[in-house]
Amino acid sequence: MREIIFDTETTGFDPASGDRLVEIGCIELLNRVPTGRTFHAYYNPQRSMPAAAEAVHGLSDIFLSDKPLFAHGVEDLIAFLEDSQLVAHNARFDFGFLNHELRLCGRSEVSMDRMIDTVAIARQMHPGAKHSLDALCTRYGIDRSHRVKHGALLDAELLAQLYIELTGGRQIGLGLAQEEAKDTIRAELAENAAVRPIRPARVFQASAEELERHAAFIATLDKPIWLDEAEAA
């Protein structure tokens, strides 16, 4: 099963009001395991960067001025995404910007059926808790000390670790290891049983002296309970 973890950085919150996508970072997972394949690109938004947005991700007008337009790099992005499920944190935001850019350059939108939202998963697992990427990384012990500012590829790498935790990826691996260990133990027991010599059953019987001592002890008991039951019967 192939899945793509991705994150975006933008000029703001609403593509309908003119905000644009300026960075995308993608991580490939196969069966919930990172393969090492990534996709990362910056794009010139053809508009100015608001100070509030730059404070979040640090991408300035000067930095983005020589970057390609989204339309010029869209083929490489589409080739990387293929038809895989796409995982994002607060995924409707990222899907909204990605599909807006695809529409602008005449490409087909990504179906919402491919969307996996880790915020929705976290809300089901931890109702009432904080569900930001930072809060969930802290909950699951994921190191984010190098996350000084938001960055699409960095956040995708953190999200990949979080997604594996949220979906029980490590537990799945442990379960397989435990089953393999059980199979090994079963094989060893079967092998030992095949070579173990069969001994005749031992007969344990009280001697006459032991029976006599037992009877003498019983005689010293004051109103034993089994006599009461026998009389009642």
For residue 29, what are the CA distances in angstroms to 92, 112, 157, 159, 173?
20, 19, 11, 12, 15
How do beta strands 85-88 and 2-10 pair? Answer: parallel
Q: List the structure tokens of 117.
A: 């939202």
Query: What pLDDT score was predicted for residue 173?
Result: 45
DSSP-derived secondary structure letter, 24: E
Give the amino acid at 54: E
Would you list which residues are annotated within the binding site for substrate?
7, 9, 57, 155
DSSP code string of 61-94? HHHHTTSPPHHHHHHHHHHHHTT-EEEETTHHHH
- pTM to 2 decimal places: 0.71
Query: Which listed CATH number (3.30.420.10, 1.10.10.10, 1.10.630.10, 3.40.630.30) goes with 2-166?
Result: 3.30.420.10
Query: What pLDDT score was predicted for residue 174?
Result: 47
Query: What pLDDT score was predicted for residue 216?
Result: 86
List strands edge to edge, sheet with 115-117. Answer: 33-42, 21-30, 2-10, 85-88, 115-117
Would you list which residues are annotated within the binding site for a divalent metal cation?
7, 9, 155
Q: Where are the domains of the chain?
A: 2-166, 171-197
Query: What pLDDT score was predicted for residue 195?
Result: 62
Of the chain, the end-to-end C-alpha distance in Å amounts to 71
Backbone angles phi, psi at 97, to 5 degrees: -70, -40
Would you list which residues are annotated within the binding site?
7, 9, 57, 155
What number of CA atoms fall less than 13 Å from residue 164's CA on the CB side?
20
Query: What pLDDT score was predicted for residue 50?
Result: 96
Positions marked active-site: 150
Average confidence (pLDDT) per 10 residues, the chain, 233 residues: 96 96 97 95 97 94 97 97 97 97 96 96 94 92 77 93 87 51 63 65 77 84 70 53
Query: What pLDDT score was predicted for residue 110?
Result: 97
* Residue 30 near residue 2, CB atoms below 8 Å: yes
